[in-house]
Amino acid sequence: MLLHVGIDDTDSPKGGCTTYIAATLIQKFVKMGVRFADYPILLRLNPNAPWKTRGNGAICLRIEFDDELEFKIKKTIIEEVEKQADFNCDNTNPGIVFHKGSIPEEMEYFSKKVVQTIVKLEEAEELINKFCCNAIGFKNRRGLIGALAAIGGTLKEDHTFELLTYRLPQYRGKKRILDKKSVFEMDKLETETFNNIDYDTNQILIAPRGPDPVLYGIRGETAESVFNGFKIVKPIEPVECWIIYRSNQGTDQHIEKKYKISELKEFNPATIHAKILKMPWIILGGHVIFKIYDDTGEIDCSVYEPSGKFREIIRELRPEDEVIVSGSIKKIEESLTVNVEKIEILNLVDIMKLSNPKCPKCGSATESMGIGQGLRCKKCGYRDLTLTKNIEKVDRKIKVKTYLPPPRAERHLTKPLKRYGIEKKLFNELLFQPWHS
């Protein structure tokens, strides 16, 4: 039997992690002789969902086993969720979904919808009733949305990998310490991994902060690359276990859809083809705002202070520059704003500047003597009524290309520049060994 198990919404700001439930279950399933039809899926859902704890991730295990094991396997899963989920937290509403056999297109479509928009619980429940064999929604049952989305996340096309390592219980909540040099070395040697380090600040990006059991994670193009990276990184504490997940991280899946400005909705990520309406300006806190327009309306775009040098790029935009802006739509004082995650500059307008010509006699700078009075050399005093100002093209400091915020400010789903042009078209179903331990 092929069973897909989706799990979501088990952790709270105090601790836990849905991926750790997957890690625990994988260890138990291995002992039970269960086979894995795919790597475990770590699906990042809409990064703007208001109920998320951290990265809005859900997981799916696609497992194969003899029919008589079905009851034992389902029982193991339910017991593990009941054991690890933080039921005391108001915002923790776990969901488990079981689905047998192949994945219908409707479930794949639903999965994308959860990554790209906000969906209602009823929509998830309707699909579960139509296709799935069982589901358990705890408390307000919201976790069913993410659990079903993870099952539908077949990632047949573009996908990446992440190797997550977990901490022993006695270390959780304490500061994570990694040998910094080993992370730099890994980044240099394993060129297929990404977002390990922010080179603007020399910040290590592979270790999260907070009380969850993850020690560090290495993201990369292939399972082999993240495994090789894992062999290089030296943590200062023991690793309890590690798992390689297949994921939509780093694929831009959330901003795939293009919208007109009039179609934008709060909480939805979006991509908008527009022109700059107003020169960018800075507000308190160092955030940069600019206005864009298309044939359906106009909207403010914000680039926040943590985006660092990305703000300098944005400040060089000028009215009528043509751009494709991607980001999430937020409501600020009843108006919608785009929180910019990426900008593709399609066309930069020519900006002209008037300048005084050089003195034809001595080559020094000239100055204007007033309207209709010509120019005078500042050095030798030469005057000429016929001399006119030069018209010069201003050198634009930005180029026609795609710009992203620095890796430390990127979303899990944002596609790093290094992945452009190497997006995957299919999934090689032969699993790399080892993918867990």
- Using CB under 6 A, list all residues that contact ligand ATP: 8-11, 17-18, 45-46, 49, 51-58, 93, 114, 118-119, 142-143, 145-146
Q: Give residues with Cβ within 8 angstroms of 404, minimum separation 6.
A: 310, 341, 342, 410, 414, 416, 417
Q: Which is nearer to ligand ATP, 81 or 186 (CB)?
A: 81
Report how far apart, in Å, the C-alpha atoms of 322 and of each of 275, 300, 325, 415 are: 4, 15, 10, 21
* Cβ pair 95, 7 in contact under 8 A: yes
Q: Which is nearer to ligand ATP, 66 or 263 (CB)?
A: 263
Q: What is the dihedral of CA 133, 138, 140, 142, to 10 degrees?
A: -60
Q: Give residues with Cβ within 8 angstroms of 175, minimum separation 6.
A: none
| Least distance from ligand ATP to the Cβ atom of residue 155, Å | 17
Which residue sits closest to ligand ATP, CB atoms considered? 146
Q: Pairing between strand 160-167 and 134-137? A: unpaired
Q: Which is nearer to ligand ATP, 228 or 268 (CB)?
A: 268
Q: Which is nearer to ligand ATP, 9 or 80 (CB)?
A: 9
Report how far apart, in Å, the C-alpha atoms of 272 and of each of 84, 252, 316 are: 41, 14, 19
57 exposed, middle or buried (CB, 10 Å; 0-12, 13-18, 19+)?
buried
Q: Which is nearer to ligand ATP, 197 or 244 (CB)?
A: 244
As a whole number of angstroms, the distance between CA 119 and CA 139 comes to: 18
| Least distance from ligand ATP to the Cβ atom of residue 294, Å | 25
Q: Which is nearer to ligand ATP, 45 or 288 (CB)?
A: 45
| Least distance from ligand ATP to the Cβ atom of residue 401, Å | 31
Beta-bridged to residue 217, according to DSSP, are 164
* Cβ pair 309, 406 in contact under 8 A: yes
